[in-house]
A and B are shown apart, each in its own frame.
Chain A
């Protein structure tokens, strides 16, 4: 049966967190970023309707007269020479070029072939300025594309940076943290290369009550990169080493540190159930839920993401999130002004609704139905789609009584309205949901009432219209509902004593369940 298949696919997508969810989510995030960028470019274009001679930054150059300008040839010569004074000048000149705002010459510097020398300078414990300049230059090269990062790694920078973490000079160890963060951020391969080089113990050792905030931010970000990426996930023992420190950092008062810690936890929970379990076991869920209520997006977004990941887990893991109070903060987030937040919150809710009926009951008790209906009515379309899933899951796993309550909360009208959506996937889910509602109505002998209700809300018209839909599955699902419940007067006349009528007699509680 097509309906059954649909359902199975949906369940797989939600409870079992196939790759689809992750892929879908990532895709959504990327689209957002692109849109924002496009909008910003547009604004700039708009402002720049007048042609202006490009502003050259001559003034900036003139102001710093002490800066020595070196040609690329001079740099190569000095770096490869033996005069330490010239080495420092050349390295500094290189670093300056690499840290200017516009068009840093990453590839040109790599082509000079001086990376192995710069890596060698990292080991000059007697010459801290040289170490620092080289570390900064290499950091910036590693901040480029994968090719750029590879050039730094293949120059032997990983062990050199790892040992510099323990440098007695704080600015040098901080610069090394930054460089290692760039290397870890390149992907799982270099991330694991760093872990195998034993980067974690010296990195964690830098976290102390006296570490300056700026430094801690760098460390947290690098840690988050060490937790980041799948295929494969970071090694379990590495995760277990980092977690206690992350749990500690997430209690910090600095928003950026909290944010990056949350992101780290969101990466760690974006995996199989046993990965989620490790995070749940730390007892951090209440803190994450608390952060979901933060007013600042940089905090609330990753906290919501992490909790959203947790509720994709087992019923027990979902229960842990419920126990941590997630249902109390979700209403606010469903009504958040930012569409992406609405959407993520609805996604989390849909996964809770996919749970056993006792969790569905908690969802009702905590007052999630009104904001859900509101979202269906006037939320952002992507959020509406997630809300549709939440309703669908609810009708699949909820008891008849719970389904009645859902209908009584006014879900039917916005749900039927969404049948005019362009997206056939969403339409199918809604039709499934309607079929589920009729199943419940049948059990109560309230089919006719539901029919009437659907008709009153112009739902019948919409379902009938879908019989001409291009999508075959939509067409069949619509047809099936029409045939089953809206077959018309003649069929009713032909079957006067169907078991519908019979059940109606049995239904004692009919009055209580007023659809």
Chain B
């Protein structure tokens, strides 16, 4: 398989005159974008940035700009479809694709002339061999080619070896080859999953060229953490990548340790942490964080009365006064905070929460501001999918992008506030879904549909929020149900999208098991179900497991999905 030589691509990129950046709406993409922008800036490369939330916007943006640009950089979009097929670019157009979506479309992999893939060398792509999926036209157009176009007959003709027998044999071989090809491609394309974070790939490129800065490293960390928060990668992959980043962190932040006292206000320092997986706890109260973190909420079953009792017991076990726990973390007694992590972990173990601590990184801006990588992810996500203000979608995108700069702490704080609202909304919705038995088994999968009029339902018309909700709901459901079979099922979740147009947004997620490989088969299944029922669907999202469809078509679509997966 072709391996992309990263350095050359980046050199090429930095050498280009005018570049169009097409960036998807996820935090990892934003982080990769920040890194690339910083690189462009120091090499004075001119570029235009266009946020794209789905295929339609990508196509429109390409059509609008294809006359002015020859070079397009796609971040977290474009890898998993045949780009040349859908965009029909001129032959001199060049695409640089940095996208964690897997599997990568085979044409993108093998077309080296127009598509430059930015992929980490050790990422295992498992791409089928060229000869197994492509065949030279030459072999196929044996006899008819010259005659069908009306050119003059040849003056002389050679008679080939056993024309008839050979041709039927070749046809048979071709048929067998095609059947095998279909099988290979089916296996290859069946599951959707994610490769290395784009921000990490971009950072890697910067590092190889010795252009990496501490800021870029932080964005790479946030990018990876986004994949972890969104549950896109396996635990193993997360730990491995954390290890890679940790080496960069100690390389970059080594010097500062000696001069810790001289930290100035605009100085930043990144540190490896073995911290609590409690969402936003340092910017919230410990109590709120415990209640609104999916892990603790699911393990303690907080939606039930017993669950609430368990929480009280848990807090008592730690010996933390309720008053302290419920006030702002910042204002908690310093004495309590000193051994807090160890205390919490010890009690958590007793309550069956063995994984409450995780490896992550923190960042210090000057003296005052300290954030965990996941804080940034939650804040940026909320800014990106902010539903409070009506306005062009790109406003949210730009705000989210800005919040990643350390000079924009106010935006970041705004994001943290929004994130708290989002997490609360998710937990409340999870609790009500479970208490009212909205999660039902459809046989091959679990299904939950949010009604129009549910509180916060508008938030869940946004893809990332809906995905987070689905994942938290599935975790909680697995903890709540006694049905062993149901614990192993994937979940399909639907929410109203546009009431006027009568559409719903639907997402499918893989089963919530400890050894989950995070591979998702719903993309293909949705496609097939839509095809077989002629449902009016729109595969607009870069994640194929998210689909939009007409509300009236939902039931026949689901029926088809059930029979397809049974």
A94 within 8 A of B: no
A143 pairs with B151, CB closer than 8 A: no
B150 touching A301, Cβ below 8 Å: yes
Q: Are the CB atoms of B150 and A297 closer together than 8 Å?
A: yes
B151 touches A29 (CB 8 A): yes
Instruction: Check B160–A99 contact: CB distance below 8 A.
Output: yes
Contact B147 A149 (CB under 8 A): no
B interface SS class: loop
B-contacting residues, A318-366, CB 8 Å: 338, 340-341
Q: Whose C-beta in chain A lies nearest to the C-beta of B115? A: A49
Q: Min CB distance, B160 to chain A, in Å?
A: 5
Q: Is B484 an interface residue (CB 8 A)?
A: no
Interface string of A129-157 (1 = CB under 8 A from B): 00000001001101110000100000000
Min CB–CB distance A103 → chain B (angstroms) = 12
Q: B123-138 interface mask toward A, CB cutoff 8 Å, 1 = contact, 0 = none?
A: 0000000110010111
Q: How far is the CB of B111 from chain A (nearest CB, A)?
A: 7
CB of B2 within 8 A of chain A? yes
Does B161 reach chain A (CB closer than 8 Å)?
A: yes
Contact with B along A38-64 (1 / 0, CB 8 A): 001001101111101001000000000
User: A29, A33, A47, A221 — which one has the most chain B CB atoms within 10 A of its CB?
Assistant: A47
Tell me the minimal C-beta distance from A107 to chain B in angstroms: 14
With A50-B112, A260-B153 already in contact, the answer to whether A44 and B138 are too (CB < 8 A) is yes
Which residues of chain B have C-beta atoms less than 8 A from A185's C-beta? Answer: 154-156
Asked if A293 CB lies within 8 Å of chain B CBs, one says no
Query: Would A99 and B161 count as touching, CB distance under 8 A?
Result: yes
Task: Tell me, in angstroms, the Cα distance from A48 to B131 when the chains sit together.
Answer: 11
**A298 adjacent to B147 (CB under 8 Å):** yes
- Asked whether any CB of chain A lies closer than 8 Å to the CB of B157, the reply is yes
CB distance from A449 to the nearest CB of B (A): 42
Give B122-181 interface residues, CB cut-off 8 Å to A.
130-131, 134, 136-138, 147-162
Inter-chain contact A186/B148, CB cutoff 8 Å: no
Whether A100 sits at the interface, judged by CB under 8 Å, is: yes
Chain A 177-218, CB-CB to B under 8 Å as 1, else 0, gives: 010011001100000000000000000000000000000000
Known: A43-B137, A301-B150. A100 touches B161 (CB 8 A): yes
Q: Chain B residues with Cβ under 8 A from A99's Cβ? A: 158-162
Q: Quick check: is B110 within 8 A (CB to CB) of the other chain?
A: yes
Are A96 and B156 in touch, CB under 8 angstroms? no
Asked whether, in the complex, the Cβ of B150 is within 8 Å of the Cβ of A143, the reply is no
Which residues on B sit within 8 Å (CB–CB) of A32? Answer: 151
* Chain B residues in 8 Å Cβ range of A50: 2, 110, 112, 130
A301 neighbours in B (Cβ, 8 Å): 150-151
Number of residues of chain B lying within 8 A (CB) of chain A: 27
Q: Which of B110, B131, B138, B148 contacts A298 (CB 8 A)?
A: B148
The answer to the question of B407 belonging to the interface, with a C-beta cut-off of 8 Å to chain A, is no
Docked pose: A16 CA to B528 CA in angstroms: 66
What separation, in Å, do the CA atoms of A142 and B155 have in the docked complex?
Answer: 11
Does the CB pair A142–B156 fall under 8 Å?
yes
Is B481 part of the contact surface with A, judged by Cβ < 8 Å? no
Q: Which residues of A contact B137 (CB under 8 A)?
A: 40, 43-44, 47
Chain A residues near B112 (CB-CB < 8 A): 49-50
Judge if A300 is at the interface, Cβ distance under 8 Å. Answer: yes
Note all chain A residues with C-beta closer than 8 A to B150. Answer: 296-298, 300-302, 338, 340-341
Indicate if B113 sits at the interface (CB-CB under 8 A).
Answer: yes
Q: Is A82 an interface residue (CB 8 A)?
A: no
Q: Closest CB-CB distance, A340 to chain B, in whole Å?
A: 8
Total A-B pairs in contact (CB under 8 Å)? Answer: 92
Please name all residues of chain A whose beta carbon is closer than 8 Å to the beta carbon of B156 when the two chains form the complex.
142-144, 149, 181-182, 185-186
Contact B148 A297 (CB under 8 A): yes
Interface size, chain A (Cβ < 8 Å)? 50
B136:A44 contact, CB within 8 angstroms: yes
The distance from the CB of B519 to the nearest CB of chain A, in whole angstroms, is 27
Give the complex CA separation of A75 and B159 in angstroms.
Answer: 21
A69 to B110, CA, bound (A): 39
Cα separation A104 to B158 with both chains bound (whole Å): 10
Task: Tell me if B157 and A186 are in contact (CB < 8 A).
Answer: no
Q: When A55-B131, A259-B147 are in contact, do A96 and B161 touch as well, CB less than 8 Å?
A: yes
Residues on A with beta carbons closer than 8 Å to the beta carbon of B136? 44, 47-48
Query: Separation in Å of the A454 CB from the closest CB of chain B?
Result: 35
A385 contacts B by Cβ under 8 Å: no
Complex CA gap A40/B160 in Å reads: 22
Q: Which residues of A contact B149 (CB under 8 A)?
A: 36, 297-298
- Which residues on the A side are within 8 Å of B152 (C-beta)? 29, 263, 302
Q: With A52-B131, A300-B150 given, is the CB distance from A46 to B113 under 8 Å? A: yes
Which residues of B have CB within 8 Å of A104?
158
- Chain B residues whose C-beta falls within 8 Å of the C-beta of A27 in the assembled complex: none
Min distance, Cβ A115 to any Cβ of chain B, angstroms: 16
Q: Give Cα A142–Cα B159 distance, bound, in whole angstroms.
A: 11
The minimal Cβ–Cβ distance linking A215 to chain B, given in whole angstroms, is 13
Which of chain A's residues has its CB closest to B112's CB?
Answer: A49
- Give Cα A231 to B134, complex, Å: 48
Task: Evaluate contact between B113 and A178: CB separation under 8 angstroms.
Answer: no
* Residue from the list A100, A225, A296 in contact with B155, Cβ < 8 A: A225
Select A139's contact among B111, B147, B148, B159, beta carbons within 8 Å. Answer: B159
Given contacts A47-B134, A52-B130, A96-B161, contact A228 B155 (CB under 8 A): yes
**B153 touching A136 by the CB < 8 A rule?**
no
Provide the residues of chain B in CB contact with A263, threshold 8 Å.
152-153
The 3 closest A-B pairs by CB, nearest first: A297-B150, A301-B150, A185-B155
- Excluding A46-B113, A136-B159, 17 further A-B contacts by CB distance (< 8 Å) are A29-B151, A32-B151, A33-B151, A44-B138, A48-B136, A55-B131, A98-B158, A99-B159, A99-B161, A100-B160, A139-B158, A143-B158, A185-B154, A221-B153, A228-B155, A296-B150, A298-B150
Q: Please list the residues of chain A having a beta carbon within 8 angstroms of any beta carbon in chain B.
A: 29, 32-33, 36, 40, 43-44, 46-50, 52, 55, 96, 98-101, 104, 136, 139-140, 142-144, 149, 175, 178, 181-182, 185-186, 221, 224-225, 228, 256, 259-260, 263, 296-298, 300-302, 338, 340-341
Chain B residues within 8 Å of A, Cβ to Cβ: 2, 110-113, 130-131, 134, 136-138, 147-162
6 A-B residue pairings within 8 Å (CB atoms): A47-B137, A50-B112, A50-B130, A100-B161, A104-B158, A302-B152
